Amino acid sequence: MFLYERACLWLGHIKLSRVIVMVSVILFVVPLFTHYYLSKYETASVALGSNSMRHTLEALGDISTMNIADLKLRIEEMLRIKASVSTELRELEEKRGRLQRESAAASAKADNVKAEYARATAELQRLRVSADQARLAQLEAIRRDTPERAPPALILPSQPPLILPPISPSSEINCRMHSCFDHSRCSLTSGFPIYFYDPDVFSPLAGAEVDGFLKTTLRQTLGYNAHLTQNPNEACVYLVLVGESFPFEKSVSSTIEPYKLLNETAIKNLPYWGGDGRNHVLLNLARRELSVGAGDAFSGASTGRAMIAQSTFTLNQFRSGFDLVTPPALGPPGGDVWSDCAPMAPARRKYLLSFQGSQSMTTSFQKDNDTYLIERLKKMANTAPESDLFYLQFDCDPPVEKRSVKSIGDWALCGTDRSRRSVLRDSTFVLIFAPGDSSYTTTALLQARLYEALRSGAIPAILGGDRITLPYDEVLDWRRAVLSLPKARVTELHFLLRALSDSDLLAFRRQGRVLWERYLSSVQASMDSLLATIRTRLNIPARPASPTMGAPAFNDSFSPPKLEPPAVDTEPEETLGPLEAPYPSPAYRRNYSLALLHGYEMWNDWGEPFALYPQLPWDPPVTSEARYMGSAAGFRPIGAGAGGSGKEFSEALGGDRPREQFTIVILTYERETVLAAALARLRGLPYLNKVVVVWNGVTPPSAAAWPDCGAPVAVVRATRNSLNNRFLPYHVVDTEAVLCVDDDAHLRHDEIIFAFRVWREHRDRIVGFPGRYHAWDLNFNNGFLYNSNYSCELSMVLTGAAFVHRYYMWAYWRALPAAVRDYVDHYMNCEDIAMNFLVAHITRKPPVKVTSRWTFRCPGCPVTLSADETHFHERHKCIQFFSQVMGYTPLLSTQFRADSVLFKTRIPHDKQKCFKFI
């Protein structure tokens, strides 16, 4: 009962609670609905009138009859629907965003896949080309008839010359190289060793000492010569210093006879004389005595089979092709001689012709009748127009212009060296007379006049030049530097002098300057020329030029680890050439043919017969047929010889030269981040043989990981911080083509390959990207200025991004005056201008600029030296100083720029351009 009562009570409470809830709902809901519909009613009554009110009241009547539970359910259902719709909308929005993100990711992935496919396709094409080239190289190696040539074994004699009986004095005049020279001691592979007798021990003078200056100078200059040996048993040539010019002494009969100072016995007792003196050179230098007969130490003396080298010879004494005419020892021992030279411009100077000399007192040698010459010269001077000014001084009195002159015989130098130099610097031509004694073919006095004329830039005009011999004339072409005419043409002298154009005058003057600097200017230049002339006769190659042994930045047991460089998306997707293993350029292929084919150019154009180089920019190409018949090894003609557009073009180098690669030389100063970026950009570059990093910094590079550029990297440390180090001929450079690049220069691969292909056709020039020019100073007219403004011509291509031939890296240190390199070191500037001066001076050609895009410099790199404001002004001074040193401005202007074939050409759809973007 208790439970029943409790249950009834609990049910009662529940019913009561329900009633209370229902009443509460009615109390709250009904007023709300009433208020809602009444407000609707009021609004509707205003708008619709009494009919609307009636319908609204009817609706209120319906509410009273509506089931409250159904209304609640409908409300809850509507709320559930609203919540469900909201949830579904949020889910749909999230799904839409997710799908959009997935779509973007898919699109990006598709783009990456397309790019990767393009890269893979290009890489596959490159690999196919590389494989084809590798197979071709393998076939060439298999079919090669002869092995690669190498320097033969050094063949040297091991014993001193054998003792042979002397020849008769009457036979000495008939000596020639084939009859009086022992070729067996000078094999083609001997390297031409020479032995110099110590003048303190072996003196060929009787009762006299050899001049101390000459002894010291000869020891010093020969010590720099690569052919000198200290082992007399292996020598090819023996050099004997006899002395210098010998004076003349008047005898009782008032005739002039040479005063015999030569000790023939001492000469013939030289330890390696061999009985007849073969392969000996008796050297007699004229230094102080420059009278007419001075310098002839061997007149009437017996010298056996020895060659004679001196400044004075008679026609009967001189043995052409055997004896050697050497200049007097008038210059310094060696070193820079640029300060002695006059500028080459203007072409026409104050005096058209000058002469300073005094008639010799020793008239017994006078055999030519020069009275007629004097009369003609006097008439020429008196009848010449006012524009042609002559400076004639024949009696060493104060000079007179356009005055009558006295008869001349043999002429000695007149006035001081300074006064003569002043007149010569103002003279377009200088008159030089052949010896009055027609029995002489050359004299020390004549050569002294030639020496000072070339030094001052006055063009020598030699009357009687048809019967004289000039120094080293068997190898030097004096016709390009000297006007030589018979004395009978004195009446045509004025006409000839006026007939030459300004360009001809400057060409004569420049060539005279080249010959004087390289072969006559100093004792060292003269001795090197003497020995090189004998070696050229024997067709023995010079000693190889020594490369610079750069100190490695890392020891042999360590090299920086390599990192995989990041992908470079800015590079164009095209096949630029095969990726091949590094191979060096063939070296020393023309050791024995160079002097035969290009001996003239070696002596007269390049001015470099003293050393042998692995390659030269002027090595001749083969004929077109030879690329396919007999000499096809190494050539890579486009389309196997049939030609073609872009596809065939990218598979072969083409051209008239065999395949080759290039070396990149980067000069940097403690900028490892910039250097690493530069190395990373080189990844995948075709035809790259090696990268040489010249580390100019004081502290060594760190051992941090460097990007892998796909080619060997050699890091050499410079001994000092110098911009000249960029052009050191390092031994690690194995190719003819050298691309000099600044570490912050940014070049595309196609630009580099295009420049390399252009350089292959212009190997003797600088080929590169940043063009500059030298502009005349309009404000002060004192020379040229450096200019980088936009112009339709250029005269320089900066070596911050340019190809040069490896030979010019040697020439920069051997042919360029040291004063230029010192200036570069002092100002830390202008090494690129110096290289342009050098190449233009040697070749007389302008550089070649190739296409380049605008983003040449690295935008995020640190500030360089060129950003300094003074940098630009210093380059003005560089051009002016270099011009002063060289005597002229060798830079030549060009309006030419190289662009790719088919560039901007409309071609069929099935053809490709050579380069897509060039």
- pLDDT tens for each residue of 706-751: 888 889 999 999 989 999 999 999 999 999 999 999 998 889 999 9
Most trustworthy range by pLDDT among 78-82, 710-714, 800-804: 800-804
| Whether residue 377 is found in the same domain as residue 296 | no
| Residue 640 pLDDT exceeds 70 | yes
Task: Tell me which of 42-46, 344-348, 439-443 is least confident.
Answer: 42-46
Mean pLDDT (whole number) for 669-684: 89
314 and 349, same domain (yes or no): no
Out of 27-31, 650-654, 767-771, 868-872, pick the least confident.
Answer: 27-31
Asked if the model's pLDDT at residue 565 lies above 70, the reply is: no
pLDDT band, residue 399 (cuts 50/70/90): very low
Q: Does residue 349 share a domain with residue 266?
A: no
pTM of the model: 0.83
- Contact between residue 310 and residue 269 where contact means Cβ atoms under 8 Å apart: no
260 within a domain of the structure (yes/no):
yes
The predicted structure's pLDDT at residue 44: 44
Report yes or no on 644 lying in a domain.
no
Mean pLDDT of 525-543: 95
| Contact status, residue 264 vs residue 306, Cβ threshold 8 Å | no
* Size (the chain), residues: 918
Catalytic residue, from 323, 388, 528, 832: name it: 832
| Residue 685 forms part of a structural domain | yes
**Do 343 and 446 fall into the same domain?**
yes
pLDDT at residue number 341:
83
Residue numbers of the domain that contains 14 = 2-62
Tally of structural domains, the chain = 4
> Per the structure block, which two tokens stand in for 691?
């990268």
pLDDT, position 351: 94
Tell me how far apart the alpha carbons of residues 889 and 774 are, in angstroms, rounded to a whole number: 9
Over 50: is that where the pLDDT of 817 sits? yes
Query: Distance between CA atoms of 391 and 389, rounded to whole angstroms?
Result: 7
Buried b (16+ CB within 10 A) or exposed e, 691-729: bbbbbbeeeebeeeebbbbbbebbbbbbeeebbbbbbbb
- What are the tens digits of pLDDT across the range 882-916? 999 999 999 999 999 998 888 888 888 888 888 88
Quick check: is 281 in a domain?
yes
146-160, 210-224, 524-538: range with highest mean pLDDT: 524-538
Contact at 8 Å (CB) between 481 and 512?
yes
Domain C-terminal end among 40, 62, 84:
62
417 is catalytic: no
Does residue 844 register a pLDDT over 90? yes
> pLDDT at position 765, please?
97
Strand partners, 284: 243
- Establish if 840 belongs to a structural domain: yes
| Dist CA 670 CA 485 (whole Å) | 62
Per-residue pLDDT reduced to its tens digit, 434-488: 988 888 999 988 999 999 999 999 999 999 999 999 999 999 999 999 999 999 8
* Domain closes at, from 474, 499, 521: 521
Q: Report the share of the chain in percent with pLDDT over 90.
A: 50
Residue 259 pLDDT exceeds 60: no
> Which pLDDT does position 253 carry in this prediction?
39
Tell me the CATH number at 736. Answer: 3.90.550.10
Question: Which of residues 325, 346, 366 is at a domain's end?
Answer: 325
Q: Does pLDDT of 507 surpass 90?
A: yes
- CA dihedral (546, 475, 432, 521) in degrees, to 10, reads 10
Residue 386: both structure tokens together:
């006012």
pLDDT at position 402 is 39
Taking residues 256-269, report their average pLDDT.
Answer: 70
What is the rounded distance in angstroms from the CA atom of residue 661 to the CA atom of residue 577?
11
Q: DSSP letters along 171-224, please?
A: GGGG--HHHH--GGGS-TTS---EEE--TTT---BSS-PPPHHHHHHHHHHHHT
Average per-residue pLDDT for the chain? 83
Contacts of 836 (CB under 8 A, 6+ apart): 766, 795, 796, 797, 799, 847, 891
3-state secondary structure of 6: helix
**Residues 533-560: what's their mean pLDDT?**
86
Confidence at residue 47, expressed as pLDDT on a 0 to 100 scale: 45
Could you tell me if residue 400 is inside a domain? yes
Give yes or no: residues 369 and 314 share one domain.
no
Overall average pLDDT of the 683-703 stretch:
90
Percentages of the chain per state (helix, strand, coil), in multiples of 5: 40, 15, 45
pLDDT at 535: 96
**Using CA atoms, how far apart are residues 909 and 780, in angstroms rounded to an integer?**
58
350 shares its domain with 270: no
In terms of Cα–Cα distance, which of 445, 427, 428 is closest to 436?
445
Percentage of residues of the chain with pLDDT beyond 70: 81
Rounded to whole angstroms, the Cα distance separating 902 from 900 reads: 6
* Contact assessment for residue 195 and residue 239, using Cβ atoms and an 8 Å cutoff: yes
Pair 676, 714 in one domain: yes
pLDDT value for 34: 56
- Indicate the pairing of strand 358-359 with strand 411-412: antiparallel
**pLDDT of amino acid 115:** 80
Assigned domain for 148 exists: no
Say if residues 270 and 260 touch (Cβ distance below 8 Å).
no
Distances (CA, A) of 405 to 370, 379, 411: 12, 10, 13
Residues 6+ apart with CB under 8 A from 593: none
Between the CA of residue 714 and those of 256, 273, 691, 694, 860, what are the distances in Å? 69, 51, 6, 9, 26
Three-class DSSP category at 309? strand
Q: Rounded distance, CA 151 to CA 611, Å?
A: 16
| pLDDT for 540 | 94
Check which CATH number belongs to the domain holding 433 and give it: 3.40.50.2000
Alpha carbons 18 and 8: distance in angstroms, whole number: 15
C-alpha gyration radius of the chain? 46
pLDDT at 389: 92
Residue 546, in any domain of the structure: no
Q: For residue 587, with 0-12 CB atoms within 10 Å meaning exposed, 13-18 middle and 19 or more buried, which class applies?
A: middle
Decide if pLDDT at 62 tops 60. Answer: no
Q: Which tens digits make up the pLDDT trace of 142-163?
A: 776 666 665 667 889 989 999 9
pLDDT in tens, 357-388: 765 433 333 445 567 787 888 788 888 888 89
Going by the DSSP 8-state scheme, the letter that residue 335 receives in this structure is S
Lowest mean pLDDT among 480-494, 676-690, 696-710: 696-710
pLDDT above 60 for 831:
yes
- State mean pLDDT over 755-783: 92
Phi-psi region at 647: left, alpha or beta (left = phi > 0; alpha = psi -120 to 50): alpha
Quick one: average pLDDT of 246-271? 61
Task: List Cα–Cα distances, 694 to 671, 685, 718, 741, 804, in angstroms.
Answer: 12, 20, 7, 11, 17
pLDDT of residue 768: 95
Task: Using DSSP, state whether 510 is helix, strand or coil.
Answer: helix
Q: What pLDDT does 247 receive?
A: 47
* 485 and 370 in a common domain: yes
Give the pLDDT confidence score for residue 366 in this predicted structure. 44
* CB distance 776 to 793 below 8 Å: no
* CA separation for the pair 131, 579 (Å, rounded): 9
Q: Are residues 359 and 313 in the same domain?
A: no
309 lies in the same domain as 351: no
- Tell me: do 349 and 320 sit in the same domain: no
Q: pLDDT category, 621, cuts 50, 70, 90? A: very high
Residue 225 has pLDDT above 70, yes or no: yes
**423 compared with 37, residue with greater pLDDT:** 423
Rounded average pLDDT over 505-520: 96
Cβ contacts of residue 6 below 8 Å, gap of 6+?
A: none
Query: Do residues 744 and 796 share a domain?
Result: yes
pLDDT in the model for residue 298 = 84
**How does residue 250 score in pLDDT terms, banded at 50, 70 and 90?**
very low
